[in-house]
Amino acid sequence: MVTLTADEVERYKRHLVLRDVGAPGQQKLKAARVLVVGAGGLGSPVLMYLAAAGVGTIGVIDDDRVAIDNLQRQIAHREEDVGRLKVESARDAVARINPLVNVETITERLEPANALDIIGRYDIVADGTDNFAARYLVSDACYLTKRPLAYAALGSFDGYVSLFKPHETDAGGVPYPTLRCVFPEPPPQGLVANCAEAGVLGPVAGVVGTLQATEVVKEILGLGESLAGRLLIYDALACRFEIVTVAWDPENPLSGRTPSITDLSVHQSAGARSCAAE
């Protein structure tokens, strides 16, 4: 049984007085292991809020270095971090917020050869990647390792959040969807611009990343109604949130009745990258 120290009791007292969290919930957070893929625009608020909440072990994987144009939205990094590995800068940001949290830095790309091993070390994954190839790799690997995936993606003025846990079923016994239930395959390369090409309003990354972190914490604690089977859409220009239902597709190639994707070999030539340029 994980116990809380006197320092942790003092630090997390606003959680401890919450009826639905309390000491048992804070102990769950301390025992949890969360992997954040990408230390960029989405990964920054996710890392910072998970650290502040007291998640015991946070893994962060990214092989990119901090650039000056990251600072407009990637709030885990500072000007003096330009040129440093993002995982090192992110580790220091977490330490400033909560030195009681253990950070595991992984300075490499998430690739088909290592994805199952790395993701399998954690309880839940938060996807902060910036390209379709990487998102599908993360989603497929989470399915194969039976790990919940807190999914998020950014547009220039909008964002999307969901929770994929297809290894579980809804109240009717139907499996929850995967990313491939919503979009069976990624669009052709170059058809949709990434954030580096199209730009993104900085605070949008903060809003979406914070929602993503909330889903992670809710999943660890078993609180409320998750976004499993639902996709939250945030339109910053209209200041509007919308939720649409997404369902399991029995014909999808990953988790359908007759899956054709049973390992990560489909990603061998996809060129997936783990950096989060949002």
Overall average pLDDT of the 155-174 stretch? 96
Give the model's confidence band at 120: pLDDT under 50 very low, under 70 low, under 90 confident, else very high. very high
Tell me the C-alpha distance between 178 and 64, whole Å. Answer: 27
What's the DSSP call for residue 261? -
Interacting residues of 138 by C-beta distance below 8 A, sequence separation 6+: 37, 110, 115, 119, 125, 127, 129, 149
Q: How far apart are CA 8 and CA 130, in angstroms?
A: 35
Neighbours of 177 (CB within 10 A): 24
pLDDT of amino acid 119: 98
Q: Which CATH number fits domain 15-267: 3.90.870.10, 3.30.565.10, 3.40.50.720, 3.90.1150.10?
A: 3.40.50.720
Count the neighbouring beta carbons within 10 Å of the beta carbon of residue 43. 32
pLDDT of residue 187: 76
**Strands 124-127 and 102-106, sheet pairing:** unpaired
At residue 191, the pLDDT reads 57
Mean residue pLDDT of the chain comes to 94
Average pLDDT on 132-157 reads: 96
Q: What is the pLDDT of residue 274?
A: 42
In this structure, what are the phi and psi dihedrals at residue 172, rounded to the nearest 5 degrees? -90, 5
Tens-digit pLDDT profile for residues 57-111: 999 999 999 999 999 999 999 999 999 999 999 999 999 999 999 999 999 999 9
For 172-214, how does the pLDDT look when each residue is reduced to its tens digit (9 = 90+)?
A: 999 999 999 998 888 776 656 666 677 999 999 999 999 999 9
Per-residue pLDDT tens digits for 220-276: 999 999 999 999 999 999 999 999 999 999 999 999 999 999 999 999 865 544 444
Nearest to 130 by CA among 177, 32, 64, 77: 64
Instruction: Find, among 165, 98, 153, the residue nearest to 125 by Cα.
Output: 165
Residue pair 75/213 in contact (Cβ under 8 Å)? The answer is no
What is the average per-residue pLDDT within 119-128?
98
10-68 pLDDT, tens digit each = 999 999 999 999 999 999 999 999 999 999 999 999 999 999 999 999 999 999 999 99
pLDDT of residue 198: 78
pLDDT in tens, 124-137: 999 999 899 999 99
Whole-number Å distance between alpha carbons of 144 and 28: 24
pLDDT exceeds 80 at position 163: yes
Rg of the chain (C-alpha set) = 18
Contact yes or no for 62/274 (Cβ under 8 A): yes
Handedness of CA 144, 105, 274, 76 (dihedral sign): positive
Strand order across the beta sheet in which 57-61 lies: 102-106, 57-61, 33-37, 124-127, 149-154, 158-164, 230-235, 240-245
Enumerate the domain spans of the chain. 15-267
What pLDDT is stored for residue 268 in this prediction?
A: 86
Q: What is the pLDDT of residue 277?
A: 41
